[in-house]
Amino acid sequence: MKKQLVIFGIIAIIVTVAFSGCTSSTEEKPTPGQVVDKEKFIGTWYGYLESKCCGSKNITIIFNSSGNVDWGDSLPYTFRVEGDTLYIGYGEYSYEEDAYSYSFTNDYTTLILSFLTSDPENDATYYLNKQ
């Protein structure tokens, strides 16, 4: 009787362990920075830019769901998100992109963008609030 109970216990443990690691192979979870993060940018952001070369100035940035960005001039900018980096391309030269690290706070209504550059003279940070 004891032997049967031990065998049954071992089988129960093996079955539990085998099924606890199973997930559906068709289930796709978004990777960091995929569509989930891109959607957080969509909307109109007001704030200011601080940079060593240009000082401080007010700025409005509009991220559209189509992947376009309006920075207030006539060039059609584009944006994409990969991991923890935001890339912004410039008009017909979208292969030339600037990279920014980003962080959201206040339930995704405050955004800080920091220009990723190795040149300290081109350092720039955007402090933005979603309206």
Task: Give domain limits for the chain.
Answer: 35-130
Q: Is the pLDDT of residue 83 over 70?
A: yes
Q: How confident is the model at residue 15 (pLDDT cuts 50, 70, 90)?
A: very low
Mean pLDDT lowest among 22-26, 38-42, 76-80: 22-26
Q: What are 128's strand-pairing partners?
A: 47, 111
Fold of 35-130: Lipocalin (2.40.128)
Mean pLDDT of 33-56: 84
**Which amino acid is located at 72 in the chain?**
G
pTM tops 0.85: no
The HSE-up count of residue 54 (CA atoms within 13 Å, CB side) is 13
- The pLDDT, as a whole number, for residue 13 is 56
Long-range contacts, stretch 105-114, CB < 8 angstroms, 24+ apart: 108/40, 111/41, 111/45, 111/47, 113/86
The torsion angles phi and psi of 111, rounded to 5 degrees, stand at -130, 135
